[in-house]
Structures are given as C-alpha cells and as structure tokens.
Amino acid sequence: MEREKVLLTEEQIKRQLDFCKKVSALLEDRPNRLAKVETFGCQQNVADGQRMMGMLQEMGFGFTEDEKQADVIVINTCAIRDHAEQRIYGLLGALTHAKKAKPEQVICLCGCMAQQQRVADKVKNSYRHVDLVFGPQAMWKFPELLHGVYQRHRRIFSIEDEHGTIAEGLPVVREGNVKAWVSIMYGCNNFCSYCIVPYVRGRERSRDAAEVVKECRELIESGVKEITLLGQNVNSYGKDLPEEMDFADLLAKINEIPGDYLIRFMTSHPKDASRKLLETMARSEHVAKQLHLPVQSGNNRVLKEMNRRYTRESYLELVRYARELMPEIALTSDIIIGFPGETEAEAMDTVSLVEEVRYDALFTFIYSPRPGTPAAKMPDPFTRAEKQVWFDRLLDAQNRISAEKHASFVGQSLRVLIDGVEEDSRWNLSSRTTGGRLVHLSGEESLVGKYCRVKITDSNTWAMFGEVEEILG
Ligand code: SAH
Ligand code: SF4
Ligand code: F3S
C-alpha cells in the first residue's frame, strides 16, 4: 500500500474537525451535553477510546459515567473471545431502558466487534436502539458519522473494509497525567490461525517516527512519567515506512529525549523480536527492563498450527539472550490452552515451558473459536471440562512461580513509580517497579506521580507490599 494512501491528508482531518463544529452547532440547545465512553479490550482500544473522547470534547461534550444522563453513549468493543462479545450484547440489551427514558439519546457501537458483518447484521435487526455502528477502520470519521445521525435522524452503519489509514492531529483526552499510551502502529499482518484481530483492524501500518517522537516529547515535557508504546506486533514497526527504520531504532530515538521517565512497549511477537531489539533495550536507560513476549504454546506442533512461525527452542533462546543482557528483566506472556486438537500432553508442554521460563506474570486464556478464522474450522475434539483441568494446572504452576518470585524481593529496596490511589485503607497507594511488578504501599496521596525507593516488607501471589524509604522525585 502506498504511503500517500495510508496517511490521511490535512484536509481530511480538517474536515472532521469541521464536523465537530457542525455537531456542536446542531446541539446548541443542549449546552450541558454529556457523553459516556465505555471501552473494553486491549490498550490499543483504550487509546482509541481516548481519541474518541477527544473528538467528543471538540464537539462540546462533557463526560459522565451515568448512562441515564448521557446524550451520547459510545461502547468501544473487543472481539478477541466469544465471552467479550456476549458481554456487549448483554450491555446493549440493558441500554434499552436508558434510551426509553431519554429518546433523544444516541447509542454508538464501535471497536473490533463492530467491524464484523455478522455483528452489524445482528445489531441492525435485534438492537434497534443502536444508532451508529462503525469499526476501528472508520474511527477517524466519527465526527462525520455522528453528524449524519443527528442531521438525518437515521441509523448509520459504517463497517466497510477500508485499506487502513493513519490519522494524525486528531484531539485526545488522556486519563491522569502519570502514564500515557502512544500507538506507534495499527493493524496486524500475522494471521495467527485463532485470532480475529487482522480481520477487524486491517493491515499493518506504522506512524512516522517523527510524529511518535514528537508525541512522546510533548508527553514527557508535560510531566508524564511512563509511556507505553502500542502495537499488535511492535517488532514489525517500520517495515512499511519509506525510510530505513525498525522498532529498535525508534526506541533508541525516543530514549534520547531528556527527562525522568520510562518507556514500555507491547506487544512483541517472538518471531520478530531481534537480538538488536534486546541489545537496544539493554543500553537504553529509559527503556524499562520488561518484555511481554507472548508464547501462546510450548509445543511445536501446536505453534505451527497456530501459524506463530517460531519454535519452542527459538523462543527459549530469545529468553536466554534477554536474561544474559538484562538479568533483572521482567518477562510476561499470553497463553492459550485448548487450541483445536491440542492434546493433554501438548498442553503439558506449555506448562513445562512456563516452569522453565519462570515468567513474572501470565495472561492465560481458554481457546475461543472466532468465526472467520482458520482455527474455527479445525476439529476440536476435547471438551471444555477437559481443557479447564489443563488450564487449572497451568494456573497452579504460574501462581506458585509468581509467589516465589515476589517472596524473593522481601527485604530488598526497589525503585517504583507511585501510580494510583486504592480503596484499601491499609495499602492506599499502588506502584509499579521498573519491571512492572505491582507494589502496594501506604502514604500520602500527593506521592502519586513520584518515583520512590521502597523497602519490600511482604508479598503474595499477585503483588508485593512495602514502605516508602525515599522520595526520588
Ligand atoms: N498481538 C498480540 C496479541 C493480541 S490478543 C500477540 O500477538 O501476542 C491478546 C491475546 O489474546 C493473545 O496473545 C492470545 O493469547 C489471546 N487470544 C487471541 N485470540 C484468541 C482466541 N481465539 N481464543 C483465546 N485467546 C485468544
Ligand atoms: Fe492476533 Fe497474532 Fe496479530 Fe497478535 S500477532 S494480533 S495474536 S494475529
Ligand atoms: Fe480486542 Fe480488538 Fe484489542 S479484538 S484485544 S480490542 S485489538
């Protein structure tokens, strides 16, 4: 795809900003108009939700959590597993009440689930109170679409499969000022056989490095302490750019920005995680020594069926090299149990890989068939109950490892960033170590956003507990 067709022009963006003004004018009689944006799914979706809030703010909306008060409700959905979709149908059903009480309310369904034709058809026929449906590929046109709904008093469905674009310069509303998400690329070309993402998010496309660096610089200058760079496979970054530039080069460039901050990133596909990337991480002072490297399975036959394009052995070699360069590195992974045809012995290969790597944390899933993907057509002979037993064994193994790892830090002093306030009266602050491990603390709320040195006093399976020793700034 040619770069000119991927990058939206300034005129196209300006047109959308003009539509923001037009919506604002149409709603003149509602000066205190409110919107509710509810996001499900991954950080990429959270980042998209923040862009949609930016556009709504430009249209003069304030924000509310209460759907009864909202003039516009935006549900930003995820399609990764069936459970995610069923939840949204439940939510949509419940919204009929809000809409009955407030008939002028506009309900929008967007995000990955909305990009699928079968979902659009179901919403068209069975959820008639939903006014606007659009997928991630049309998100940049949200002001124009919403304007259409208001002006024409008609339902709008915009889920055509576009080639995939990049929109720079649209506004964004960020939550908090300690951490920020920055998308560096969109889409996915990998077509892992179980996964819906390439179908709903379109082809891979990278933002210009200069735009990414500019956004990071502005965030750091405004006081943000942690930036997470986002992409379905950040290691593909740059493959579609005219200049010679890969993800390691981008990290090195961002690392040159002066200030006291950390850079994290996700997700890294093991097939493209290069030695150069690990070497760049190791020598870049601002890059957190943390790697989310989803393995999915520890069995080579299953990996091949999944179309992951690496082996257990090459994965373990990558982990070995990462630890050689960065002994303190925190490693996390995603795992699927119960891929079609996976046997008990194959699932136990995954458990043995987990024992071998000793991850800091895992995100574990039982396979969920996604209509339209190759895996959904494969014979799937094992029952949910059988898969659950294997899944529980995996969880037991990881819980034991997490507890042991956390316990090994008791008595040590660690640097953390205090990132939030919690309900708990004993442990009212939450913080993360450089490796991303969770540490509960007690202290003044004014410490949020500060780097501190803390002494670890206790731990459990999920987190550590500590005392602030020194405020580092
Ligand atoms: N791009 C990332 C993953 C994004 S989806 C990567 O390649 O690692 C997040 C996780 O959801 C995946 O890593 C996978 O473990 C899980 N997942 C994806 N499709 C799934 C499915 N059909 N059933 C169960 N889990 C799935
Ligand atoms: Fe899905 Fe694979 Fe792409 Fe990740 S790399 S989003 S698992 S297709
Ligand atoms: Fe879900 Fe879409 Fe993210 S399917 S996991 S919200 S890319």
Boundary-marking domain end, from 158, 190, 215? 158
Which residue type sits at 205?
A: R
Ligand of minimum distance to the alpha carbon of 136: 3
Cα 189 to ligand 2 centroid, rounded to whole Å: 8
Overall average pLDDT of the 185-209 stretch? 96
Boundary-marking domain end, from 407, 424, 456? 407
For residue 87, give both structure tokens: 């939840």
pLDDT digits (tens, 9 = 90+) for 270-297: 999 999 999 999 999 999 999 999 999 9
* Residue 201 beta carbon below 6 angstroms from any ligand 3 atom: yes
* Domain annotation covers residue 344: yes
Predicted pLDDT of residue 161: 75
Cα 77 to ligand 3 centroid, rounded to whole Å: 8
Q: Are residues 145 and 290 in the same domain?
A: no
Task: Give bridge partners of residue 278 from the DSSP assignment.
Answer: none
Domain of 279, CATH number, reads 3.80.30.20
Mutational test site, ligand 3, from 77, 78, 139, max ligand atoms within 8 Å of CB: 78
Q: Are residues 350 and 219 in the same domain?
A: yes
Boundary-marking domain end, from 358, 383, 407? 407
φ, ψ of residue 174 to 5 degrees: the values are -95, 150
* Domain annotation covers residue 364: yes
Q: Are residues 101 and 224 in the same domain?
A: no
pTM, two decimals, is 0.95
Predicted pLDDT of residue 403: 96
* Residue 306 beta carbon below 6 angstroms from any ligand 2 atom: no
For residue 234, give both structure tokens: 């950040």
Q: What is the DSSP code (8-state) at residue 375?
A: G
The ligand 3 atom at the shortest distance from the C-alpha of residue 113 is 4
Question: Could you tell me the residue range of the domain that residue 428 belongs to?
Answer: 413-471
Provide the domain count of the chain: 3
The ligand 3 atom at the shortest distance from the C-alpha of residue 84 is 1
* Domain annotation covers residue 166: no
For residue 220, give both structure tokens: 């750091």
Overall average pLDDT of the 425-450 stretch? 94
Q: Are residues 381 and 420 in the same domain?
A: no
For residue 340, give both structure tokens: 């079609």
Q: Are residues 77 and 212 in the same domain?
A: no
Q: Are residues 428 and 354 in the same domain?
A: no
Calpha distance 326→317 (Å, rounded):
14
Predicted pLDDT of residue 215: 97
Q: Are residues 214 and 324 in the same domain?
A: yes
**Is 309 a residue whose pLDDT tops 80?**
yes
Residue nearest to atom 4 of ligand 2 (CA): 232
Cα 42 to ligand 2 centroid, rounded to whole Å: 12
Instruction: Report the candidate in 3, 420, 434 with the shortest Cα–Cα distance to residue 207.
Output: 3
* Domain annotation covers residue 372: yes
* Domain annotation covers residue 444: yes
* Domain annotation covers residue 126: yes
pLDDT digits (tens, 9 = 90+) for 17-58: 999 999 999 999 999 999 999 999 999 999 999 999 999 999
Cα 193 to ligand 2 centroid, rounded to whole Å: 9
**Is 177 a residue whose pLDDT tops 90?**
no
CB 307 within 8 A of CB 193: yes
* Domain annotation covers residue 172: no
Overall average pLDDT of the 92-117 stretch? 95
* Domain annotation covers residue 164: no
| DSSP of 89-131 | HHHHHHHHHHHHH-TT-EEEEEETGGGSHHHHHHHHHH-TT--
φ, ψ of residue 161 to 5 degrees: the values are -80, 100
Q: Are residues 352 and 459 in the same domain?
A: no
Calpha distance 21→282 (Å, rounded):
47
Compute the 3-state secondary structure of the chain and give helix, strand, coil in percent, each to the nearest 5: 40, 20, 40
Predicted pLDDT of residue 284: 98
